[in-house]
Amino acid sequence: MVFAERGLPLSVFGGSGLRAIVLLTCALACLSCATSSLSDEDAAKDDSTLAGWRQGGPPRRVILITIAGLEATDFLNVWGHAASENDPVQMPNLARFAREGSIGIQVSPPTPSSTYASHATIATGRLPARHGIVADRALDEDGKRSLPYWDNRLLKGMAIWDAAIGRGVLSLGWPTTTGARIELLVPDGASLDESSSWLDYMRNVSSPMLVRALEAMSEEAIDEASSIVGGQRDPRTWPTADEKDAAFIELACRIARSERDPGLWMIRLEQTAAISRIAGTGSVQVAEALARVDASLGQLDACLTETDKISDTAIFVTGDVAFQAVHTRVDPNIVLVNGGLVGRDPRSSMGVRSWLAISRTNGRSAYVYARDAANALAARELLEAESARTGAFAVVSAADLAAGGGDPQAWFGLSAMPGFFIGNGLARPALRPSEMRGIEGAFPFLEPAASSVGFVAWGRGVRPQVHVAEAELVDLAPTIASLLGLRLDEDLDGEKMIGILRAEVPMPPPGPKRLGVGNEDGDVDRALRELGGGRPLGSDR
């Protein structure tokens, strides 16, 4: 029939040719019945996964992944709905999770919307004022240095990895985990010595078996680059941001194939952060980075499927901060220098010799600190006048900051107007073209829609096709704890999202507080001093 339809009479092939065609057709038909197609294999995998979900009960493991700057529009279709298989989307793998699982459309980060504050909020179910990670960096006592919040001792309250210690924890790139009691750990951080590589730093703070795997990946990448370009790649250049994300997914796949089976996996994928700052939101470069991240999600899904772990796994994927387009930088500290409240020192790394009141940026917002009430009042008057003159930012009261869970040590805050971001500069001009195209760090209670991130939950214990119009990142820890049966602190700021849960596990009875000085009864000031100094909490200084 096929040949006849194409205008070729069957008689052309003769009798023997016709018999051969018939036999070949039958053979192909039998082969197609005996061999499954790729779509058949996908359907079988989906059937197996769905069967695991229908069994009911909680997941054996929860995988929590953060993607820098992830918004709901990255995995929804152009109409803002769950995407069908044929809809064009930036992240098709994540879109499938969203189509089959629960999604959060407008998920609010904490105050401020910064990387470290968001991750600490996700991990504890508390807001920054209570977990203590109030920004990406802390000030020392003189305000001349900013210190990264790397050390786990600075985190107040019980983190979810402490609650899950008996279930086993894998943590890759998660902020404020250096020194944490985590079985399989590669924390966030980097060497302050430019002569040392990221891998050199990680050797001292990471789990040995993971370091060995990273060393092998580094050697392979360096050898491959050297063979391609004909030169020698500097080992200090590994990994780039996208190479680090790929390495973390590969580590997760190796854990999936091993005998280890931690109950809580925490992975931070961050390559989109630097690109969003340099190229801006909505750029081709950000779209390409999101595509790479989505491919990594597909790789992890394949690894879990290959090892028969997918059917009893729950996967949570969320953004941490939202990047907003900017074109102009404003440096409010300049008016404080002119007013005699900040003394400049070119020899200092931050240019500060002394200060009575000072602004410290979060990106699209800033906190203003002062030595006492009189200097705080003087700074506010100067900055309100500068706000009226430039139209670049607005002054935010301490009461509003407190209501939003911000830093209790700040006398007041500053919020950048659309298109502006706040710098720490001390030299004129106060307004200048921005060197960045996108920036995070807004106060979400002032810009809820623009500050929102996206969220997807999928897998065992998660209800399918549930849309949550509004939620908060602070709700993630109690939700995941409910799935795994973990006990967090009782006085949380977040609440579990009951509507997305198919299964819950009763919490164990109360146990002892975690070790370390960052808990409710610990000495956070002492921890900061051990790190090289910091602004004492609970004082005007």
Task: Answer yes or no: are the C-beta atoms of 104 and 455 closer than 8 Å.
Answer: yes
What does the alpha-carbon distance between residue 29 and residue 25 come to, in Å, rounded to a whole number?
6
What does the alpha-carbon distance between residue 214 and residue 219 come to, in Å, rounded to a whole number?
9
Q: What are phi and psi of 161, to 5 degrees?
A: -70, -25
**Sequence letter at residue 142:** D
pLDDT recorded at residue 228:
72
What distances in angstroms separate CA 182 from CA 234, 268, 375, one per listed residue? 31, 15, 44
Q: What are the tokens at 9? A: 């009479």
Q: What are phi and psi of 295, to 5 degrees?
A: -60, -35
What distances in angstroms separate CA 422 from CA 115, 326, 331, 394, 433, one per listed residue? 16, 10, 6, 11, 12
Q: What are the tokens at 533? A: 């100094």
Q: What are phi and psi of 306, to 5 degrees?
A: -60, -35
| Per-position DSSP letters for 526-539, written without gaps between them | HHHHHTT--PPTTS
Q: What is the pLDDT along the chain (541 residues), one digit of tens a residue?
A: 333 333 333 333 344 443 443 344 444 344 344 433 444 444 445 665 555 555 678 999 999 999 999 999 999 998 888 999 888 999 999 999 999 999 999 999 999 999 999 999 999 999 999 999 999 988 766 666 678 899 999 999 999 999 999 999 999 999 999 999 999 999 999 888 888 899 999 999 999 999 999 999 999 998 887 777 667 888 889 999 999 999 999 999 999 999 999 999 999 999 999 999 999 999 999 999 999 999 999 999 999 999 999 999 999 999 999 999 999 999 999 999 999 999 987 765 568 888 999 999 999 999 999 999 999 999 999 999 999 999 999 999 999 999 999 999 999 999 999 999 999 998 888 999 999 999 999 999 999 999 999 999 999 999 999 999 999 999 999 999 999 999 999 899 999 999 999 977 777 766 554 444 344 444 444 444 444 333 333 333 3
**Sequence letter at residue 249:** I
pLDDT recorded at residue 141:
65
- Tell me, letter by letter, the H, E, C secondary structure of 396-462: ECHHHHHHCCCCCCCCEEEEECCEEEECCCCCCCCEEECCCCEECCCCCCCCCCCCCEEEEEEECCE
Nearest of 156, 158, 207 to residue 178 by alpha carbon: 207
pLDDT recorded at residue 55:
62
Question: Which domains, ranges and CATH numbers included, belong to the chain?
Answer: 44-323+448-530 (3.40.720.10), 326-439 (no CATH)
pTM, rounded to two decimals: 0.85
Task: Answer yes or no: are the C-beta atoms of 404 and 480 closer than 8 Å.
Answer: no
Helix (H), strand (E) at residue 354: strand 352-355
CA–chain centroid gap for 419, Å, is 24
What does the alpha-carbon distance between residue 83 and residue 89 come to, in Å, rounded to a whole number?
7
CB burial of 70-96 (b: ≥16 within 10 Å; e: otherwise) equals: bbbebbbbeeeebbeeeeebbbbbbbb
In this structure, the number of other CB atoms found within 10 A of the CB of residue 507 comes to: 15
Contacts of 200 (CB under 8 A, 6+ apart): 191
CB burial of 30-56 (b: ≥16 within 10 Å; e: otherwise) equals: eeeeeeeeeeeeeeebeeebeebbeee
- Per residue in 62-82, pLDDT (tens digit) is 999 999 999 999 999 988 889
**284-306 vs 271-279: helix crossing angle, rounded to 10:** 170
Which DSSP symbol is given to 106? E
What does the alpha-carbon distance between residue 319 and residue 279 come to, in Å, rounded to a whole number?
18
